[in-house]
Amino acid sequence: MSTMNASAFEHRLRPLADLERAVPMRAYMKDQFAFLGLPAPVRRAAVKDLVAAHPQDPGHLLGTAEALWRLPEREFRYTAIDLLHHHHRRLAPAQLPRLQDWLLRDSWWDTVDGLAAVIGRIVLAGRGAQVTMDAWIAHPDFWVRRAAMLHQLGWKGATDTARLGRHALLLAEEREFFIRKAIGWALRDYARTDPAFVRAFVDAHRARLSPLSLREAAKHC
């Protein structure tokens, strides 16, 4: 059933492929991945009804996402992420290991950040799952660490500020660009809700945070 669902998405999207658009999209991702050449609005409009009507039990959702993830063009992974995000209320912390598996496959910021948004919705609904993020923040792969750093994006007043600060400091010494950017992004996002907290945190830990993290964090303070 999940393979059939994935095929329905594939049959909608492949005929819309635009090889000319695919060239700059591939170049933007440093020629690492294949693309159909579909802008997000076109892609989402083409499968909107399939996403909405998809069976909502976790087995079907994860099965379709897995089948889409196996297809070579990047747009199918974006569609898998959209599907999971649309039905995130049907997912639970028990599904986080599957999402971590996708974080580790052909990893780049586009799929990692999309999955991080889904992960954040799951964790917010089951706050005990934040202990999983405490494990992920020490994961050997920096993309998993990035997802853990970003999982509270958009939580606003529900943000666990102690965990936000602790995670930022655990990663503060890293030199990886995508980690430094994630620290700043997470702080910048929460600054929209509580700029005083972020200013105080930055002032207290300025010597430990990278210039990139500091610049990003200060954008809404």
180-190 residue pLDDT tens: 999 999 999 99
Note if the pTM is more than 0.85: yes
What token pair was written down for 197? 């907290």
Question: pLDDT tens digits for 146-174?
Answer: 999 999 999 999 999 999 999 999 999 99
What pLDDT does 128 receive? Answer: 85
Tell the residue number behind the tokens 């050449």, with chain if given.
37
- Written in H, E and C, the secondary structure of the chain is CHHHHHHHHHHHHHHHCCHHHHHHHHHHCCCCCECCCCCHHHHHHHHHHHHHHCCCCHHHHHHHHHHHHCCCEHHHHHHHHHHHHHCHHHCCHHHHHHHHHHHCCCCCHHHHHHHHHHHHHHHHHCHHHHHHHHHHCCCCCHHHHHHHHHCCCCCHHHCCHHHHHHHHHHHCCCCCHHHHHHHHHHHHHHHCCCHHHHHHHHHHHCCCCCHHHHHHHHHHC
Segments of the chain with pLDDT less than 50: 1
What pLDDT does 211 receive? Answer: 97
What pLDDT does 1 receive? Answer: 43
What pLDDT does 4 receive? Answer: 67
